[in-house]
């Protein structure tokens, strides 16, 4: 008997998806090129989210596709442990060259979640290696998103991702307060004025737990998945200073903010704040092949390089760390960023994006608009008793109207292409304006 269901939608348990609603009314894309998707029926959908914060250069870039094809024909796989292949070393050299000075080592993973796990483990193992094994506490931030593995969920601060696992998450984790403050900062253009002092909450944890028990703080320089929360002016500088003063590592989770999203190679560069570790993924390969990386300061790497030379220094790694196909995609992507000056291009588009998104102030149910770099959010008032319903409806209606926009609950999120155009911004926000009226 053929046990396949006739609709064909049942077997796939979709991630972060309302499966039943989706399967009742599926939204499918069948192809992508440039800044657009096509549905299986051939309808055009403008991508206002660069994939899933992934594909800043646009879809279907021939240079990346060709590089992957050539690589697969030459070396499809190389063992990741105790053996190397030339591309991985080349990529690590190119990647660290983009990072702030002193961040000279790259460890490859297959996703942002794995980059976060790797960074947290590096932080703990680093403290161990330098003779401070009691430094085990990890500090995240309310509303932080660091992927879905146990370490990332533990330091993450989104209740829906955490609550089911309460009691089974990592011990010794604390959180800083979120920096969103609608009372003082609603409709800020770029970085909000108020709230740098929220970084001082780290002092509270130092007083309660002792600096000698704290290994690292991890934050997204600009919080993304929770609904785009740019840091208050001066906040990241203050956090860096406090971490340094208390001998605590600072980890920037730049899975979203890396590779031009904030108009520089990394948010670290844009803010002039150098962390000890950077997590990255998404834009590393333009989303073409799954890949992540942790970029580490030289001091971190050096602390591990002890013991007999034949001994493994860090008991961690993935079968697919530095996979040849991912490496080829990443090298081609980094080449395009450089050839096309993509990060400067993003910076140049930022004022038009800011101006256009803020024109929706006053549209029905809009309670805040936030932007930084090419990251933007429109926060909607939740429907009485049905948080998230309005945002989801906007997402669905926008898709039907030919626009791909993401909603996290009632926060609409926007990530134009690094090489996007004013016309696309116009189309994006005029469609959203119309949909907001329709659902009001």
Ligand X SMILES: Cc1ncc(COP(=O)(O)O)c(C=O)c1O
Q: Give least dist CB 113 to ligand X, A.
A: 3
Q: Which of residues 136-165 bind ligand X (CB under 6 A)?
A: 145-147
Least distance to ligand X, CB of residue 355, Å: 26
How many angstroms separate the CA atoms of 369 and 390, rounded? 16
Checking phi first, is residue 259 left (phi over 0); if not, alpha (psi -120 to 50) or beta? left
Q: Which is nearer to ligand X, 220 or 393 (CB)?
A: 220
Closest chain position to ligand X (CB)? 112
Report the alpha-carbon distance of residue 267 to residue 373 in Å, rounded.
9
Q: Which of 154, 225, 226, 431 binds ligand X (CB under 6 A)?
A: 225
Nearer to ligand X, 87 or 147 (CB): 147
Q: What is the DSSP string of 72-84?
A: HHH-S---SSS--
What whole-number distance in Å separates Cα of residue 254 and Cα of residue 223? 9
Cβ closer to ligand X: 64 or 218? 218
Residue with Cβ nearer ligand X (147 or 416): 147
Residue 256 interacts with ligand X (CB under 6 A): yes or no: yes
Q: Is position 54 an interface residue for ligand X (rule: CB under 6 A)?
A: no
Task: Give the Cα-Cα-Cα angle 301, 315, 308 (nearest 5 degrees).
Answer: 65
Q: Rounded distance, CA 259 to CA 211, Å?
A: 33
Rule CB under 6 A: choose which of 47, 253, 350, 424 binds ligand X: 253
Q: How far is the CB of 279 from ligand X (least distance, A)?
A: 6
At closest approach, how far in Å is the CB of 20 from ligand X? 23
**Under the criterion CB under 6 A, does residue 220 sit at the interface with ligand X?**
yes
Q: Report the distance separating Cα 59 and Cα 417, nearest Å.
A: 10
Q: How far is the CB of 9 from ligand X (least distance, A)?
A: 23
Tabulate helix, strand, coil % of the chain (nearest 5).
40, 15, 45
State in angstroms the smallest separation of the CB of 17 from ligand X: 14
Q: Interacting stretch for ligand X, rule CB under 6 A, among 31-39, 125-133, 249-257, 412-420?
A: 249-257
Burial degree of 209 (CB within 10 A; 0-12, 13-18, 19+)? middle
From CA 263, how far away is CA 261, in angstroms rounded?
6
408 binds ligand X (CB under 6 A): no
Residues of span 277-296 touching ligand X by CB under 6 A:
281
Binding site for ligand X (CB under 6 A): 111-113, 116, 145-147, 220, 224-225, 253, 255-256, 281
């Amino acid at each position: 008997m053929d046990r396949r269901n006739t609709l064909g939608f049942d077997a796939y348990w979709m991630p972060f998806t309302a499966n039943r609603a989706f399967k009742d009314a599926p939204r499918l894309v069948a192809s992508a090129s440039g800044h657009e998707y096509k549905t299986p029926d051939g309808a055009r959908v403008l991508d206002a989210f660069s994939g899933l914060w992934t594909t800043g250069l646009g879809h279907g870039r021939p240079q990346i596709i060709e590089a992957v094809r050539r690589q697969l024909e030459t070396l499809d796989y190389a063992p990741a442990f105790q053996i190397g292949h030339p591309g991985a070393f080349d990529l690590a050299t190119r990647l660290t060259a983009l990072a702030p000075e002193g961040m000279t080592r790259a460890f490859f993973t297959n996703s942002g979640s794995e980059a976060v796990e790797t960074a947290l483990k590096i932080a703990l193992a680093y403290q161990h290696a330098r003779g401070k094994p009691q430094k085990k506490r990890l500090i995240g931030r309310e509303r932080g998103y660091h992927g879905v593995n146990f370490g990332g969920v533990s330091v993450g601060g989104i209740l829906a991702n955490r609550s089911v696992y309460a009691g089974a998450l990592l011990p010794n984790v604390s959180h800083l307060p979120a920096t969103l403050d609608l009372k003082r900062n609603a409709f800020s253009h770029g970085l909000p004025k108020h709230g740098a002092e929220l970084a001082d909450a780290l002092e509270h944890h130092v007083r309660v737990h002792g600096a000698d028990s704290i290994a690292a703080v991890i934050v997204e320089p600009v919080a993304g998945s929770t609904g785009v929360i740019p840091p208050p002016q001066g906040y990241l500088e203050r956090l860096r200073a406090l971490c340094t003063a208390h001998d605590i590592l600072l980890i920037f989770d730049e899975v979203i903010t890396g590779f031009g999203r904030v108009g520089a190679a990394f948010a670290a560069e844009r803010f002039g704040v150098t962390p000890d570790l950077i997590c990255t993924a998404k834009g590393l390969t333009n989303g073409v092949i799954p890949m992540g990386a942790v970029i580490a300061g030289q001091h971190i790497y050096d602390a591990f390089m002890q013991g007999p030379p034949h001994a493994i220094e860090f008991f961690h790694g993935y079968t697919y760390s530095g996979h040849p196909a991912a490496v080829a995609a990443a090298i081609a992507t980094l080449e395009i960023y450089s050839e096309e000056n993509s990060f400067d291009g993003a910076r140049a588009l930022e004022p038009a994006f800011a101006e256009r998104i803020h024109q929706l102030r006053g549209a029905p149910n809009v309670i805040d608009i936030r932007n930084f770099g090419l990251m933007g959010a429109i926060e909607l008032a939740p429907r009485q008793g049905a948080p998230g319903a309005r945002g989801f409806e906007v997402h669905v209606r926008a898709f039907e109207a030919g626009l791909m926009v993401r909603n996290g609950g009632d926060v609409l999120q926007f990530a134009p292409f690094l090489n996007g155009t004013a016309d696309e911004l116009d189309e994006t926000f005029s469609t959203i304006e119309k949909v907001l009226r329709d659902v009001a």
